[in-house]
Chain A
Amino acid sequence: MVILNSPISKKEVVKLRAGDTVHLNGIIVTARDVAHKYLIEKKPKEYKKLLKNGVLYHCGPVVDRVGKKWIIAAAGPTTSMRQEPYTAEVIREYGVSGIIGKGGMGDRTLEALKKYKAVYFHAIGGLAQVLAECVVDVKDVFMLKEFGSPEAMWVLDVRDFPVTITMDSHGNSLHKTMYEKSGAILNSLITKGGL
């Protein structure tokens, strides 16, 4: 198992391989499609520093307010494919080093991971409680009023956040290999099998 601290330098990124299991520590920023669209269309400068070598998390958390503090009540990953149209550009514009999500991403993102040195971390879908427990602090939130709580950009400090690298900066995608491998088995089941 690899222990990583975010922000993650590009030197560290290239050492990571698809298949590595990782415990992530430090700052991650939630962003879904609405936030991605905003980052690309408006190119707001104030996020440059926050996202440089940073990690984006595809997540729309359930959030509670206790006094002045925000509490993350549930925070599992959401489907990453929704962010596919924007991700390559976000990685390029902001120098992002990691994306956390579920279900994997497409060819454009895989290319961008290679070109700009970044990785895709797969979190376990539905793991809302275990992952919420990994959040030790809510540092900030952006665009809460404009986007509503699930789409807002929550800046989270996490410890031992468990993920698996399924797409790396060398062009490997476990999703692609799994699709092909299971496809070959399917074909043999169809030709051999039957009821």
Chain B
Amino acid sequence: MQVMKKTDRGLSNKNLLNTFVELIRRASSDLPVDVVTAIKEGLLTEKRNSIAYKTLQMILKNIKLAKEKSLPMCQDTGTPVFYVTLPNPPLSPFVKGGCSGIRGIINQAIKESVHKLYLRPNIVDTLTGKNLGDRTGPGYPVINFEEWEKDYIKVILMLKGGGCENVGTQYALPDSRVNAGRDLEGVRRCILDAVHKAQGRGCSPGILGVCIGGDRVSSYEESKRQLLRSLDDRNENPVLGKLEQSIMKDSNRLGIGPMGFGGKTTLLGVKIGSLCRIPPSYFVSVTYMCWAYRRRGFEYENEKVRRWLY
């Protein structure tokens, strides 16, 4: 790998590679504090020694162990989804090769992380069923690139588990199955239906990322992006904020609880965003995230980490 000279404002790929490996380690083994706090708050609402209480207690013990051992808190280390924001070219302390350069570094970081046991060899060729081991391939990992006017790089990584991804769903309104019209009440019915259908199968307590509007693809994409928000933030849009609170309250009344064993803690959070749409379409997309809500990030400037995120 060629290292750019400092005078070129180029970055050393080696440093960046190590930072990516550390990012993966943190994401896989160390759950962010907003998530741990939400699980603890859930624990306090459950009856002492109920099955919900014991389940959450066990989950907290697991989180602690994973951190101490620097090992995956869940053996399904998921699909790595990266959000990479790069400085505009004129500002750029650039990475050689631009986006494809970053892609190469990420693929290498995944290889190293498999060998260090931060990630399970988790990618399969869909047609042959063959596990690709420490390699990567089309669709794995997922990398979203963006640009901004700042002069440093920002990277966020989410490890998205398979069990919870499977219970995600999308509605096209009107939807007669759930008696949902094209208004916020219809949206509410869809989201509550999704929580009910998921039961404990997404490893509840879960977190919902929701998008209203968009097309099928952008809607799902935005629903996942909503999960980048901090659990304790407030929605900037008061209408959506109210909807979030209402869904949260009602979901936790369903009695599904941790793992679907029964209890008050069915969801830890709800994040809702909206996109514009064309008149024929009105989508409600729900991404379900398990309690193992693994996301970490960093900002990178002058060959070093400026700040760790989450």
Task: Check if A60 sits within 8 Å of B75, measured CB to CB.
Answer: yes
A194 vs B290: C-alpha distance when bound (angstroms): 27
Task: Check if B73 sits within 8 Å of A60, measured CB to CB.
Answer: no
Closest to B76 in A: A78
Q: Count B-side interface residues using an 8 Å CB cutoff.
A: 57
Range, interface on chain A: 35 or more
Q: A122-B261, A126-B290, A130-B65 given as contacts; is B196 within 8 A of A150 (CB)?
A: no
Q: A178-B262, A189-B250, A195-B246 given as contacts; is B200 within 8 A of A127 (CB)?
A: no
Asked if A36 CB lies within 8 Å of chain B CBs, one says no
Task: Write out, one digit per residue, whether chain B residues 53-92 have a CB within 8 A of any chain A CB (1) or not (0).
Answer: 0110011011001100101111111000000000000000
Q: A79-B163, A186-B254 given as contacts; is B75 within 8 A of A128 (CB)?
A: yes
Task: Write out, one digit per residue, whether chain A residues 59-85 have a CB within 8 A of any chain B CB (1) or not (0).
Answer: 111101000000001111011010000
A23 to chain B, nearest CB (A): 12
A177 to chain B, nearest CB (A): 9
Task: Check if B192 sits within 8 Å of A102, measured CB to CB.
Answer: no
A106 vs B65: C-alpha distance when bound (angstroms): 33
List residues of B (155-178) whose CB comes within 8 Å of A's CBs: 161-163, 166
> Which single member of B69, B189, B199 contacts A129 (CB below 8 Å)?
B69
> Which single member of A60, A132, A179 contacts B120 (CB below 8 Å)?
A60
Task: Check if B74 sits within 8 Å of A76, measured CB to CB.
Answer: yes
Task: Check if A195 sits within 8 Å of B66, measured CB to CB.
Answer: no
Asked if A174 CB lies within 8 Å of chain B CBs, one says yes
Closest to A123 in B: B259
A166: chain B residues within 8 A (beta carbon): 261
Interface centre among A81, A125, A149, A194 (most CB of B within 10 A): A125
Asked if A168 CB lies within 8 Å of chain B CBs, one says no
Closest to B54 in A: A21
Task: Check if A74 sits within 8 Å of B71, measured CB to CB.
Answer: yes
Task: Check if A182 sits within 8 Å of B203, measured CB to CB.
Answer: no
Task: Check if B196 sits within 8 Å of A186, measured CB to CB.
Answer: yes
Asked if A44 CB lies within 8 Å of chain B CBs, one says no
A129 vs B290: C-alpha distance when bound (angstroms): 16
Task: Check if B120 sits within 8 Å of A193, measured CB to CB.
Answer: no
Task: Check if B184 sits within 8 Å of A195, measured CB to CB.
Answer: yes
Task: Write out, one digit per residue, whether chain A residues 101-119 have a CB within 8 A of any chain B CB (1) or not (0).
Answer: 0111000000000000000
Task: Write out, one digit per residue, whether chain A residues 128-169 have a CB within 8 A of any chain B CB (1) or not (0).
Answer: 111011000000000000001111000000000010101000
A148 vs B125: C-alpha distance when bound (angstroms): 13
Asked if B20 CB lies within 8 Å of chain A CBs, one says no
Q: A129-B62, A129-B69, A193-B250 given as contacts; is B201 within 8 A of A164 (CB)?
A: no
A187 vs B120: C-alpha distance when bound (angstroms): 41
List residues of A (89-109) whose CB comes within 8 Å of B's CBs: 102-104
A76 to chain B, nearest CB (A): 5
Asked if A34 CB lies within 8 Å of chain B CBs, one says yes
Asked if A2 CB lies within 8 Å of chain B CBs, one says no
Task: Check if B74 sits within 8 Å of A74, measured CB to CB.
Answer: yes
B262: chain A residues within 8 A (beta carbon): 174, 178
Chain A to chain B: the 8 pairs with minimum beta-carbon distance, closest first = A125-B203, A129-B65, A148-B131, A74-B75, A126-B74, A103-B201, A182-B254, A128-B75
24 contacts between A and B (CB under 8 A): A61-B75, A62-B117, A81-B201, A104-B201, A122-B259, A125-B74, A126-B62, A126-B73, A128-B74, A129-B69, A129-B73, A130-B62, A148-B130, A150-B122, A151-B131, A166-B261, A174-B261, A175-B260, A178-B260, A190-B189, A190-B192, A194-B185, A195-B185, A195-B242
